[in-house]
C-alpha cells in the first residue's frame, strides 16, 4: 500500500473544506432538509455520494491506465490538472459570494431521493474532471493499487457524507448561514485557497 496515513489525513481535510463550500450539492441538500426529516434526507445524500464514488473510481482507474501506457500521459495530466485546480481556486477567490435563496421542494419518496441525488452528481461532468485533477496531490496513481484507490474513494465519500449531514442536520442554522453573504464569502475563500494549494501540490510534488 502506497497511500500513507499523512496523505489520508490531508485528503480528508482538503475534502472537508471543499465539501463545506456552498455548491449545488449543499444547496440541494438544504432544500430537501426543509421538506423532509433528516433520516429521509439521508437517502438524497446517499445518491449524491454514490455518484461521487463512481466518479472518483473512474478518475483514478482511468488515470492509472493512461500512466501505465506512457509516462508522458502522466506529465500532461499532471500539468493540466494542476492548472485547472489553480484556475478554479482563482475563480472562486475572485468571484462574489454565491448566495442563493433556498426554497423548499416537494416531498419525494426514498428511492426517488436517491435517484435525484445521483443524477445531481452524474449530470455534472465537471466533478469527474475535478477528481482527475485533485487526487494526484494525495495519492501516487503511478504505483497505487486497487486497495489504495478504494481507500481514497471511501475517505472522500465518508467526508462528503459528513459535510452534507452537517448541513442537513443543522438545516435552520445552515439555511441562515447560506443566506449570509459574509459566511458564504468566507467559505468560498477558504475553498479557493485550498484549490490553489492543491493545484500547486499537483504541479510541484506529485
pLDDT interval class at 94 (50, 70, 90): confident
**Is the Cβ–Cβ distance between 57 and 65 less than 8 Å?**
no
Percent of the chain with pLDDT over 70: 88
Task: Identify the pLDDT of residue 68.
Answer: 67
pLDDT tens figures, 121-174: 888 777 787 888 888 888 877 777 888 888 998 999 999 999 999 888 877 666
State the distance between the two ends of the chain, measured CA to CA, in whole angstroms.
Answer: 17
Task: Identify the pLDDT of residue 160.
Answer: 92
Pairwise CA distance, residues 18 & 182, whole Å: 17
What is residue 95's DSSP assignment? S
Top mean-pLDDT range of 69-83, 90-104, 167-181: 69-83
What is residue 2's DSSP assignment? -
Query: Rounded to two decimals, what is the model's pTM?
Result: 0.78
76's grid cell: 500532461
Task: Burial-class residue 134 by CB neighbours within 10 Å (0-12, 13-18, 19+).
Answer: buried
pLDDT tens figures, 108-117: 788 899 999 9
For residues 69 and 44, the model is more confident at 44
pLDDT tens figures, 17-43: 888 877 788 888 888 887 888 888 999
Angle, in degrees to the nearest 10, between helices 181-204 and 126-134: 50
63's grid cell: 488515470
pLDDT interval class at 179 (50, 70, 90): low
Percent of the chain with pLDDT over 90: 14
pLDDT interval class at 100 (50, 70, 90): low
Task: Identify the pLDDT of residue 158.
Answer: 94
Least confident of 103-107, 139-143, 156-160, 197-201: 103-107
Residue range 196-205: mean pLDDT, rounded: 83
The domain locations on the chain are 5-204
Read out DSSP for 120-185? Answer: HHHT-THHHHHHHHHGGGTS-TTT--HHHHHHHHHHHHHHHHHHHHHHHHTHHHHHHHHT-HHHHH
Amino acid at each position: 500500500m502506497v497511500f500513507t496515513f499523512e496523505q489520508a489525513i490531508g485528503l480528508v481535510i482538503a475534502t472537508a473544506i471543499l465539501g463545506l463550500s456552498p455548491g449545488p450539492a449543499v444547496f440541494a441538500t438544504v432544500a430537501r432538509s426543509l421538506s423532509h426529516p433528516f433520516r429521509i434526507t439521508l437517502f438524497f445524500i446517499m445518491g449524491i455520494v454514490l455518484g461521487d464514488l463512481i466518479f472518483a473510481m473512474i478518475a483514478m482507474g482511468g488515470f492509472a491506465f493512461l500512466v501505465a501506457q506512457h509516462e508522458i500521459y502522466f506529465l500532461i495530466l499532471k500539468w493540466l490538472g494542476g492548472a485547472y485546480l489553480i484556475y478554479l481556486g482563482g475563480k472562486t477567490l475572485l468571484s462574489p459570494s454565491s448566495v442563493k435563496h433556498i426554497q423548499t421542494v416537494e416531498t419525494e419518496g426514498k428511492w426517488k431521493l436517491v435517484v435525484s441525488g445521483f443524477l445531481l452528481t452524474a449530470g455534472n461532468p465537471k466533478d469527474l474532471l475535478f477528481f482527475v485533477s485533485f487526487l494526484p496531490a494525495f495519492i501516487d496513481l503511478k504505483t497505487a493499487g486497487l486497495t489504495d484507490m478504494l481507500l481514497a474513494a471511501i475517505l472522500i465519500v465518508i467526508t462528503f457524507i459528513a459535510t452534507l449531514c452537517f448541513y442537513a442536520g443543522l438545516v435552520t442554522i445552515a439555511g441562515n448561514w447560506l443566506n449570509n453573504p459574509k459566511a458564504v464569502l468566507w467559505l468560498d475563500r477558504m475553498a479557493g485557497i485550498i484549490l490553489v494549494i492543491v493545484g500547486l501540490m499537483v504541479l510541484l510534488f506529485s
